[in-house]
């Protein structure tokens, strides 16, 4: 097991860092948070690591914080969540945000990530139920940060039409429903479907 690496940062780009240690160059896959926090090369760095050995490859993953590594390890313990998808999740959500979403069962925060969807998000909630408190403690989340968000108002028929239209345009159901509700609230009472859809599409396009 390789638990950490200390050496010279040779290069970095989103999702990847190359560190030279002991005369060898190690290519590490890194989450977005680690990439953004790394200094400009050349520079001395120390990264926590996780190694995945497969028949065709040895993949090394690097993290600047123990919270990132613990979140990654927790995610890869979930059935059908591989290391690359786990890296995508902790790149889309800061580890503290992931811990909070798991604690308060904020399904939409996870289901909206590319490659996840509602069913996978629900499986994450169930399988990480026992690990979520440890992640929340590592993140230093306070009690007031772990209060569940108020339940959304029930969808009306206009909401359902907007959601259906957005799903047909290729958006996943969770992000479509959230965008439709926010757009309906922004458009005001009595707004027609076209106005709601235009607002929802603007919001969805902005976030992608």
Same domain for 56 and 12?
yes
The whole-chain average pLDDT of the chain stands at 85
Q: How many CB atoms are closer than 10 A to CB 191?
A: 16
52, part of any domain: yes
How many domains are there within the chain?
3
With H, G, I as helix, E, B as strand and everything else as coil, classify residue 98: helix
Q: Which domain holds residue 192?
A: 157-206
Beta strands 43-53 and 16-21 are unpaired
Residues 101, 142: one domain? yes
Question: 137 vs 70, 96, 132, 195, CA distance in Å?
Answer: 11, 9, 9, 43
* Residues 175, 134 contacting (CB under 8 angstroms): no
What CATH number has the domain bearing residue 170?
1.10.8
Domain match, 186 and 127 both: no
pLDDT digits (tens, 9 = 90+) for 187-196: 776 677 777 8
pLDDT computed for residue 183 by the predictor: 82
- Of 146, 166, 190, the position where a domain reaches its end is 146
Q: Which two tokens stand for residue 68?
A: 């990132």
Domain endpoint, select from 111, 146, 181: 146
Quickly state the pLDDT bin for 205 (edges 50, 70, 90): low
15-50: pLDDT as tens digits: 999 999 999 999 999 999 999 999 999 999 999 999
Which residues on adjacent β-strands are paired with residue 50? 61
Same domain, 59 and 74: no
Phi, psi of 120 (to 5 degrees): -70, -40
HSE (side-chain half, CA atoms, 13 Å) at 17:
33
Taking only Cα atoms into account, the Rg of the chain, rounded to an integer number of angstroms, comes to 20
Q: What is the separation of C-alpha 91 from the centre of its chain, rounded to a whole number of angstroms?
A: 5
Q: Is the pLDDT assigned to residue 182 strictly greater than 80?
A: yes
Q: What is the pLDDT of residues 83-121, one digit of tens each?
A: 999 999 999 888 889 999 999 988 888 888 878 888 899
- Are 101 and 166 members of one domain? no
User: Are 127 and 169 part of one and the same domain?
Assistant: no
* Spatial contact of 17 and 11, defined as CB atoms under 8 Å apart: yes
How confident is the model over 116-139, as pLDDT tens digits?
888 899 999 999 999 999 999 999
pTM: 0.70
Q: At 208, is the secondary structure helix, strand, or coil? A: coil
Average pLDDT over residues 140-147: 76
Statement: residue 150 has pLDDT above 50: no
Q: How confident is residue 154, by pLDDT bands cut at 50, 70 and 90?
A: very low
Q: What percent of the chain has pLDDT over 70?
A: 89
């Amino acid at each position: 097991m390789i638990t950490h690496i200390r050496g010279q940062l040779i290069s970095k780009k989103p999702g990847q860092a190359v560190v030279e240690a002991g005369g060898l160059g190690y290519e590490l896959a890194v989450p977005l948070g680690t990439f953004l926090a790394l200094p400009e090369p050349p520079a001395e760095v120390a990264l926590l690591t996780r190694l995945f050995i497969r028949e065709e490859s040895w993949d090394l993953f690097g993290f600047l914080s123990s919270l990132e590594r613990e979140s990654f390890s927790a995610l890869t313990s979930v059935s059908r969540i591989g290391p690359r998808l786990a890296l995508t999740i902790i790149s889309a959500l800061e580890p503290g945000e992931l811990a909070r979403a798991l604690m308060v069962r904020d399904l939409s925060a996870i289901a909206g990530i590319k490659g996840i969807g509602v069913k996978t998000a629900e499986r994450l909630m169930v399988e990480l139920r026992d690990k979520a408190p440890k992640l929340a403690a590592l993140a230093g989340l306070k009690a007031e940060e772990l209060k569940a968000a108020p339940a959304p108002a029930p969808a009306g028929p206009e909401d359902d039409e907007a959601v259906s239209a957005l799903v047909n345009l290729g958006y996943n159901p969770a992000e479509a429903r959230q965008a439709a509700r926010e757009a309906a609230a922004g458009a005001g009472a009595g707004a027609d479907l076209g106005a709601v859809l235009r607002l929802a599409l603007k919001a969805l396009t902005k976030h992608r």
